[in-house]
Homo-oligomer: A and B are copies of this chain.
Amino acid sequence: MDIRAIGAAAKAASRIIGTSSNETRNAALRAIAAALEERKAEIFAANEADLAAARENGMSAAMLDRLALNESRVKLMAQGALELLGVPDPLDRVFDERVRPNGLKITKKAVPLGVIAIIYEARPNVTVDAAVLCLKSGNAVILKGGKEAINSNLKLGEIMRAALESAGLPADCVTVLPDTSREAATALMTLNEFVDVLIPRGGAGLISAVVKNATVPTIETGTGNCHAFVDASADLDMAADIIFNAKTSRPSVCNALETALVHADVAEKFLPLMKSKLDEKNVELRGCERARAILGGCVKPAVESDWANEFLDYILAVKVVGGIDEALAHIARYSTGHSEAIITENAENAARFLREVDAAAVYVNASTRFTDGGEFGYGAEIGISTQKLHARGPMGVDCLTTYKYLIEGDGQVR
């Protein structure tokens, strides 16, 4: 695999799709959706090859489920493409327009990023879900998925490339890397000549490998060590409902709750209430000393790593704190800047929490699970940024653009 040739081809394709009309890009999305449905037998066959290899390698049932493509998952991918048809053209935005005293006319206009590289893990549907967002916003995309899904990913790439050509756009607007090795990933992370932005989608290990090795501009996504602070004034039933929902509705995702911080004044009353709800889903608690004194020895003692890491499982760390100051300090120390919540009836504390917590999404009296492009009303997202550069929180098609300044004169010199 010649990564520089792939990069150069993607860059050349990006110049064409980057100046194409919204109609042309929408036609490509329609063609992709249709081709996915028409060629689903090929997709299932490729996916079956991946599944067979995975079973042979003893992959867990949960991982096999993530890898599997079926009728409904193919339909969802196609729908993802079609849903973007109605989304306003992200390139049809002028941010500023001004005429300077010297007569220069300056227009600040949205343009695509260019070539976006995406590195992701097991789920093959990301191949299409991510690609269509890049295409809608006028970018070319280079996709590197997990080795477990390579047959599925290559097939999906082949289908999208053919659909692009049928719509009059270069096939190289979408490239699935055939090489899934670590070396190929590193080559992609350092392809500065051709890659404008790299977005890793995956667990903490992938993100930190990218942060360490990438020399191309990168957007960190999806590490969510999320907290909920139950203030002294909280409606305790509401607090228990929110924590139950944030922890158990989908524990494997980045906006799931990982730690509950409980005001000491209500800990005696609240912790048993919270535990009885969480027991419905057999959530394991890991508590500080004070929480364990209230809840009893059945609760494991929390260790440092329980505060620092995501469980992504039916496990919740629990800490009793002296008040909002201690809660804010704990969050400042351990937060990954994803989603943080306070449950309170105290307007002053709510305002302070909103102001002082440094995270993409800060909640008062609601579940952290709402941090999602769809839930915010922004449509599909390519990931949830936990860094501050460029985009923060759910990133929709608008976040896959940059801008340029167009300056028109009649001979001005400085």
Q: Which residues of A contact B (CB under 8 A)?
A: 15, 18-19, 98, 100, 104, 106, 111, 113-114, 192, 196-197, 211-212, 215, 217-220, 235, 238, 241-242, 244-246, 249, 332, 350, 354-356, 358-367, 369-371, 375-377, 387-390, 392-393, 402-414
Contact = CB atoms under 8 A, between A and B. Distances in A.
B414 A375 contact: yes
Contacts of A241: 411, 413
B332 A413 contact: no
Given A411-B235, A413-B367, A361 B392 contact: no
Q: State the oligomeric state as a number of copies.
A: 2
B358 A15 contact: yes
Given A235-B411, A242-B413, A245-B414, 12 more contacts: A15-B356, A19-B355, A111-B358, A113-B388, A196-B387, A217-B220, A217-B387, A238-B410, A245-B413, A364-B407, A365-B411, A370-B414
A335 to B, nearest CB: 12
Given A407-B363, A408-B365, A402 B389 contact: yes
Q: For chain A, what secondary structure do more than half of its interface residues adopt (helix, strand, loop), or is it mixed?
A: mixed
23 contacts: A15-B356, A19-B356, A98-B377, A104-B370, A113-B388, A196-B388, A217-B220, A235-B411, A241-B413, A245-B414, A354-B408, A360-B405, A361-B404, A361-B407, A362-B405, A362-B406, A364-B407, A366-B410, A371-B405, A375-B414, A376-B405, A388-B402, A392-B403
B366 A411 contact: yes
Which of A98, A238, A362 is packed against the most chain B CB atoms within 10 Å? A362
B392 A402 contact: yes
A360 B392 contact: no
A409 B363 contact: yes
Nearest to A196: B388
Contacts of A404: 358-362, 392-393
Given A362-B404, A370-B104, A217 B413 contact: no
Contacts of A365: 408-412
A366 B114 contact: no
A411 B91 CA distance: 37
Contacts of A249: 413-414
Given A98-B377, A388-B402, A390-B390, A366 B332 contact: no
